Structure 1
Amino acid sequence: MARDSRGMTMANSDSSTDLRRSDGSPVRVLVVDDEPTLAELLSMALRYEGWEVRSAGDGQTAVRTAREFRPDAVVLDMMLPDIDGLEVLRRLRGESPEVPVLFLTAKDSVEDRITGLTAGGDDYVTKPFSLEEVVARLRGLMRRMGRSHLRAESQLIVGDLTLDEDSHEVRRGGDLVTLTATEFELLRYLMRNPRRVLSKSQILDRVWNYDFGGQANVVELYISYLRKKIDAGRTPMIHTMRGAGYVLKPAD
């Protein structure tokens, strides 16, 4: 398991279900942190889950963004440059009383934890933390809150290709496809981003957790493995976009 320069663990998500809104649209998460690098890392990890993410670097922007975006959950730093996280929480709850809020803080004292939770925060994570833990905490919060417009699914479906995150079964046109653990993670990432061109560096970051550095050839190798198993004898679904990366889309 690799760590980024800030000491946070970059880990694959092993969650078994895909939370979505009842209309099938992605879950919405608002990330509020005044450290741009941290906010971007969090946003990347949450987008990997297939969620729609927006970020804000200060409290006032967070409140305005939440009013427009209507998030299903909020990741909120306690220390912000204008108003603190507790005040942001108070304003958020004034308009969306049930939205779950996960506090982030560099402080690790019982007093700070109690302050955040008694003010209405739903959970608390101290820095440095693993990105996987944040994702897991958010999933748990949204399930516990029982938000009526959310539903959980275990299957990803693109055209005639299905991937079950509970059983780890993959089928193309009803035929079972056997994949290694890494091939499964790569396909899951592609299927969570259908019709979206993913660069080699994005794939390395999400599937190999930076462990392979700039060795983009490992991506080419595993894409070729997947093609032999997913596309062999069928209309191709995995396409190379020269100079840009790879994209998975339903067969015509």
Structure 2
Amino acid sequence: MRVLLVEDDVRVSAALAGALRRTGYAVNCATTAEEALAAPAADLVLLDLGLPDRDGLEVCRRLRERSRHLPIIAVTARGEEHDRVAGLRTGADDYVVKPFSMAELQARIEAVLRRVVHAARPTSDVLEVGPLRLDVTARHVTLDGREISLTRTEFEVLLTLASRPGVAVTREELLLAVWQTTFGGGRTLEVHIAALRAKLGNPDLVRTVRRVGYRLHAR
């Protein structure tokens, strides 16, 4: 999970980036609005509003214009009600006031990402990806017309991948969609991916994207 951390206080940025990296996130830091807007694509933005070259609300607005679905959490010392309202109305998905604990921030991150993952779920009752067919309501899977018997968890993993065929789905997104947390208990996800590949009978269908997650090959 790629996090863009926008924070002008170098000491705060270093401490927070270190904590995020220990949790498993890949962190890119920016200290100004200009750096934030020029930064590579991220899966989540933690945005301080008190930036030296431009108000953080303007950065939030610009980022939201670029992507409707990019998770943005304002992380700021501005704690007044009107500040919170302005941040949320500008496009932030959540608003965390300094000081805060890492446990609180992690919970906020997971809550925001769960909403994003849920929004990406299919609205159709049936998904077809190449020869793979998922009946979401009946929780029934066939591959080339052959019925595939999956456990509830295996079905949820496959459904999450099939919702975005051909797209790399991060490990964190899969954990949130299936287990409602980014902490997967060791190699829980990997074990279920291996079982899913074995049942599909074609390991190439679910491909590993190195250092990212997995992708359902839409052939």
TM range, smaller chain: 0.5 to 0.7
TM norm structure 1: 0.49
- Cα distance in 2 for partners of 1:104, 1:50 equals 19
Give 2:74's aligned residue: 103
Give 2:10's aligned residue: 36
**34, 39, 55: which one pairs with 1:60?**
34
- Cα distance in 2 for partners of 1:33, 1:74 equals 11
- Cα distance in 2 for partners of 1:89, 1:73 equals 12
Give 1:176's aligned residue: none
- Cα distance in 2 for partners of 1:87, 1:113 equals 14
Is the counterpart of residue 156 in structure 1 residue 186 in structure 2? yes
Deviations 1:139-160 (A, max 9, x none): 1111111255343332434xxx
**SS in structure 2 at match of 1:152:** helix
Q: What amino acid sits opposite 1:156 in the alignment?
A: G
Within a 5 Å distance, the mapping from 1:1-252 to structure 2 comes to: 27-65=1-39, 69-146=40-117, 149-150=169-170, 151-153=173-175, 154-157=184-187
How far did residue 47 of structure 1 move? 0.8
Q: What amino acid sits opposite 1:85 in the alignment?
A: G
How far did residue 48 of structure 1 move? 1.3
**Percent identical residues:** 39
Instruction: Extract unaligned runs of 5+ from structure 2.
Output: 121-163, 176-183, 190-219
Larger helix percent: 2
How far did residue 32 of structure 1 move? 0.3
Deviations 1:149-200 (A, max 9, x none): 343332434xxxxxx59xxxxxxxxxxxxxxxxxxxxxxxxxxxxxxxxxxx
CA RMSD, aligned part only? 2.0
How far did residue 95 of structure 1 move? 2.0
